[in-house]
Amino acid sequence: MRHQNAIVDHQPNNSSQTTRDMRKTQDTLPPYLCGFGASMANIMITFPINKLMFRQQLFGIRYKQAFHQLYQEGALTLYRGLLPPLLQKSASVAVMFGLYHHCERALIHQLSPLHVTVVAGMIAGTCEATFTPLERIQTLLQDPKYTKTLRNTTSAFAQISSEHGMKELYRGVTAILYRNGPSSAVFFTLRNPIKDRVRPVEEQQGKLMTCVSDFISGSAIGALCSTLFFPVNVVKTRMQSQLGGEFVSFSATFRIIFKERDRSWRKVYRGMHLNLVRSLISWGIINTVYEILFKSYKRMSTEDD
């Protein structure tokens, strides 16, 4: 009888532990899922602009020349190379938001709020480099000289892996590390302060005004980060546009580009205006859709409780 009571007494503990585990999972997953969904919406809208900017970065040409190249290639090739950024960027943004929130909770009682934001942002951004192979494939598929040799994402992965080895898929990873960690730290450090200035009291606003303020705050931070790290992206594009051969360092690649462009920072920043427009739209969409999805989840979880 005593043994039966012990079993009965023990059952609620197991139940409460299971409930706590489920609650922990429910609290952990939403930032990842919301980040993934927000990025997918963004990529589908901004991919053509990104492709135009890529041509400017790679060849150092004006946007009219880049537009003429894409126009001559035809509408069917406009979304060529969409799958890698759709997977890579969506997974990357999912990791950025999800891992940031995870690290923030882990560090909140150990560091000051500012240090928590910076460290969590750096960790989240650095871990995004895991998806370098997808960004690498995207770069090659967007380069017109590989149009005939690399047909699609799957064949590109198979061909590069078999002919050059897995290391080739991580060409340019140093540039991605230089870009992702610091830019994520800047994004999360400025996100709440700018949001508070743009959006005074959320309860006093309608849904439309809330979305507009989310879009403006995301756009402002995205434009700032993309402008600050634009030269890093130029170097990354050059590093990843090479297939096979010697692995040239980040600094050596930058020196080559700087010399080719007559040691002119203006020419290094060629394509920056288009990049600014893309970032304004892109991060505005990501921030707005993320907030919509995350608030919807919180509202549904509150109703369930």
pLDDT in tens, 110-161: 999 999 999 999 999 999 999 999 899 988 988 888 888 888 888 999 999 9
SS3 (DSSP) at 147: coil
pLDDT in tens, 35-83: 999 999 999 888 888 788 778 777 778 878 888 888 888 877 788 878 8
Tally: H helices and E strands in the chain:
12, 0
Read off the pLDDT band of 258 (50, 70, 90). very high
Non-local (6+) Cβ contacts of 65 within 8 A are 59
For the chain, give the mean pLDDT.
85
**CA distances in angstroms from 114 to 106, 108, 117, 118, 219, listed in the order given:** 14, 10, 5, 6, 22
Sign of CA dihedral 257, 261, 262, 266: negative
Q: What pLDDT does 190 receive?
A: 93
Q: Which residue has the higher pLDDT, 256 or 48?
A: 256
Q: What pLDDT does 13 receive?
A: 54
The percent of residues in the chain predicted with pLDDT above 90, rounded, is 54
Read off the pLDDT band of 15 (50, 70, 90). low
Task: State the residue for tokens 């938001």.
Answer: 97
pTM assigned to the model: 0.79
Q: Alpha helix locations (H) across 108-131?
A: 113-127
